[in-house]
Amino acid sequence: MDKEQLNKLVVDFLSRLQLPAEKAEKLFIVATIGLIGSGRSTVAKMVADKVKGAVLLSSNSARYLLKEAGLPWGDNVRQILKGVATDLLSRGYSVVFDGNAADGEDRKNINEIAAQTGASVHYIRINIDPETAQKRERAKYDDPNWVSSFNDFRVNTTEKILKNLDERIKLHQELKSSDIPNLLGEVDNNGSLEELEKQVNELIVKM
């Protein structure tokens, strides 16, 4: 993807966001680490909704725009999110990523954004039993009423998303929390939404 294409997609992404009325009290980047189906988007939305001046940035929204443009995903997703996040942080908003930051390349990208903008970085790790994650993803992807969109893009078929989930289990099992710099804390998402929200609230206080 060339610079002109990137800029166009960044502008398109920004135009679709609903920005909060107030700016952030301090600039930060929050990113989630968790298996597919662990509730990364749910946790990210909770943080963005509860912290003044925070904007949720979904990796799947970048994939939606790339698919519309006929471009591949991979590093293009990182570059779009980097452009959007840098713009928002420069305007006084904080950002919350719902994409998985278990990969070193994603954390490197986040560190580069932080270095350019002076924002602090916080990671939230979400723990879940793989069987529970599989069950939740199957229920989501088998929903016949799901309308794929910029805000809720259907990335794959049910079979492909479950295959991707299986392939990522080992990575998450081998990733030690002690190896994650700026880890704000961990939450368990094997229970209810209320239990998850309580844990997220406890982490937000620490920011």
Q: How confident is the model at residue 156 (pLDDT cuts 50, 70, 90)?
A: confident
CATH topology of domain 3-12+23-201: Rossmann fold (3.40.50)
Domain boundaries, the chain: 3-12+23-201
User: Starting at the edge strand that comes first in sequence, how are the strands of the sheet with 28-34 ordered?
Assistant: 54-57, 94-100, 28-34, 120-127, 183-188
Report yes or no: 182 and 33 within 8 Å, Cβ to Cβ.
no
- pLDDT per position as a tens digit, 22-47: 999 999 999 999 999 999 999 999 99
User: Which pLDDT value is given to residue 18?
Assistant: 93
Maximum CA pair distance of the chain?
45
Q: How confident is the model at residue 187 (pLDDT cuts 50, 70, 90)?
A: very high
| pLDDT score of 2 more than 90 | no
- Calpha distance 41→59 (Å, rounded): 10
Report yes or no: 197 and 204 within 8 Å, Cβ to Cβ.
no
Mean pLDDT of 44-64: 96
DSSP, residue by residue, 144-195? TT----SSS---S-HHHHHHHHHHHHHHHHH--GGGSTTEEEEEE-SS-HHH
- pLDDT per position as a tens digit, 65-97: 999 999 999 899 999 999 999 999 999 999 999
User: Which pLDDT value is given to residue 17?
Assistant: 96
What percentage of the chain has pLDDT greater than the value 70?
100
Any idea which residue has 């804390």 for tokens? 185
- pLDDT per position as a tens digit, 122-143: 999 999 999 999 999 999 999 9
Q: List beta partners, residue 94.
A: 54
Instruction: Answer positive or negative: Cα dihedral of 11, 17, 23, 27.
Output: negative
User: Which pLDDT value is given to residue 58?
Assistant: 95
- Calpha distance 112→79 (Å, rounded): 11
* SS3 assignment, position 31: strand
